């Protein structure tokens, strides 16, 4: 079933490459439709410059202690779960699977996950210098990803040229992290009110500009965004290439290792399957989602929400969030448990964000 949705004006920052789109149907859109603007280095630099002009205090970075982003990402499970689901949402897009084919990140998924955590914590909790550092590093990596699709996938024919910094795919990649953050926060912590949801979405729009995406491209409200997300996830842009399922990872080969590790992975797969949209979930034949798994997922989120409230704050919140609060004068020195965690947790999960960036900056 196809729903008619508004597709928003696409333009690149500071350039005349503006294209208008009429109302169309996501599932019927073809590769000739004008959502293929590439965010080049000039666009990205100018986007960051324009964003900086609207930031009053660079020490706060993009958001600050009163923001919804700081509140919603602070619980430690939210970001790792969201990034995992984001990866599952991105992979069915042929640009993503083809762009990572043959790369180190295709097989070294754990270092890639660490780098992603580092980048997002820098964007969300870093000062402006850290935000720009992470933005330029990620843009530079994506700038190198381009090619021609080796086979037909979804609405894209074989030989179709792709670039990772095309606006359409950047918009989807941005959506794949914005959507699960809210989903997991509400399942583990508490539901958001309508006004809180709109505050979160306004901040998420600021975050989109870090990638060089203009505000005019974004759906104007959370309700519009939800329709865009649901329609795109159900569209023929989502077609997981067979090659992706042959890559060596626990998803394609099944969990391995010690019993506790295998059990934990299977449990997380159940949580992922429960959150994913149906069209995306069914493209992963190894994701368990029968009635039994649905009951496990429902019970797990109920238990997680109850247990989460009982944990001491040092075990609930990201060390880098607490470090950011100290940086802006909103929190005092860490207690004994906080200091112990900072000492034991590896980069990029401890409060030493600079060390985390140095450790992962040169990883492939």
Please determine, for residue 111, whether its predicted confidence score (pLDDT) is greater than 90.
no
pLDDT of residue 63: 96
> Into how many domains does the chain fold?
1
Confidence of residue 35 (pLDDT cuts 50, 70, 90): very low
pLDDT of residue 105: 67
pLDDT of residue 284: 93
pLDDT in tens, 234-274: 999 999 998 888 888 888 877 888 999 899 999 999 999 99
Residue 337 parent element (H or E):
helix 336-344
Distance CA 196, CA 206 (A): 16
Distance CA 78, CA 101 (A): 28
> How big, in percent rounded to 5, are the helix, strand and coil portions of the chain?
60, 5, 35
pLDDT of residue 250: 84
DSSP symbol at 157: P
**% of the chain exceeding 90 in pLDDT:** 69
Average confidence (pLDDT) over 280-303:
94
Distance CA 8, CA 138 (A): 25
pLDDT of residue 269: 95
Average confidence (pLDDT) over 175-190:
98
Give the residue numbers spanning the domain of 195: 4-360
Q: Which of 231, 286, 226 is nearest to 253 (CA)?
A: 286
* Of the listed ranges 22-26, 301-305, 344-348, the one predicted with least confidence: 22-26
Average confidence (pLDDT) over 151-178:
95
Q: What are phi and psi of 10, to 5 degrees?
A: -110, 125
Confidence of residue 3 (pLDDT cuts 50, 70, 90): very low
pLDDT in tens, 127-157: 999 999 999 999 999 999 999 999 999 999 9
pLDDT of residue 353: 53
24: β partners: 5
Q: Which residue has the higher pLDDT, 108 or 3?
A: 108
**% of the chain exceeding 70 in pLDDT:** 85
* Of the listed ranges 125-139, 193-207, 328-342, the one predicted with least confidence: 328-342
Confidence of residue 364 (pLDDT cuts 50, 70, 90): very low
**DSSP letters for 207-263:** HHGGGT--GGGS-SSHHHHHHHHHHHHTSTT----GGGGGSSSHHHH---SSHHHHH
Sign, CA dihedral 323-125-74-140, equals negative
Please determine, for residue 102, whether its predicted confidence score (pLDDT) is greater than 90.
no
Strand blocks (E) in the chain: 4-5, 24-25, 146-148, 161-163
pLDDT of residue 351: 83
| Reported pTM | 0.86
Distance CA 273, CA 228 (A): 20
pLDDT of residue 14: 32
Please determine, for residue 357, whether its predicted confidence score (pLDDT) is greater than 60.
no
């Amino acid at each position: 079933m196809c729903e008619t949705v508004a597709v928003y004006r696409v333009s690149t920052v500071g350039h005349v490459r503006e294209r208008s789109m009429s109302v169309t149907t996501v599932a019927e859109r073809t590769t000739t439709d004008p959502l293929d603007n590439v965010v080049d280095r000039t666009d990205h630099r100018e986007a960051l410059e324009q964003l900086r002009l609207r930031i009053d205090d660079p020490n706060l970075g993009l958001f600050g202690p009163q923001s919804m982003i700081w509140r919603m990402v602070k619980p430690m499970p939210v970001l790792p779960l969201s990034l995992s689901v984001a990866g599952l949402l991105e992979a069915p897009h042929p640009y993503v699977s083809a762009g990572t084919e043959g790369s180190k990140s295709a097989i070294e998924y754990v270092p890639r996950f660490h780098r992603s955590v580092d980048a997002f914590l820098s964007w969300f909790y870093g000062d402006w210098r850290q935000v720009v550092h992470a933005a330029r590093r990620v843009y530079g990596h994506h700038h190198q990803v381009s090619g021609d699709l080796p086979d037909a996938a979804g609405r894209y024919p074989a030989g179709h040229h792709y670039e990772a910094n095309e606006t359409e795919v950047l918009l989807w990649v941005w959506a794949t992290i914005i959507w699960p953050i809210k989903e997991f926060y509400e399942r583990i912590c508490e539901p958001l009110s309508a006004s809180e949801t709109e505050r979160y979405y306004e901040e998420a729009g600021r975050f989109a500009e870090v990638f060089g995406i203009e505000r005019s491209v974004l759906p104007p409200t959370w309700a519009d965004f939800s329709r865009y997300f649901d329609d795109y996830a159900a569209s023929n842009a989502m077609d997981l290439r067979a090659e992706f399922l042959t890559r060596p990872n626990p998803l394609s080969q099944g969990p391995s290792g010690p019993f506790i590790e295998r059990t934990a992975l299977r449990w997380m797969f159940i949580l992922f399957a429960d959150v994913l949209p149906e069209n995306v979930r069914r493209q992963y034949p190894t994701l368990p989602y029968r009635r039994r798994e649905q009951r496990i997922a429902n019970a797990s989120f109920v238990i997680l929400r109850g247990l989460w409230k009982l944990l001491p704050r040092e075990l609930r919140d990201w060390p880098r969030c607490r470090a950011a609060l100290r940086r802006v004068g909103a929190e005092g020195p860490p207690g004994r448990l906080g200091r112990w965690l900072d000492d034991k947790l590896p980069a990029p999960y401890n409060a030493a964000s600079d060390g985390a960036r140095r450790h992962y900056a040169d990883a492939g």
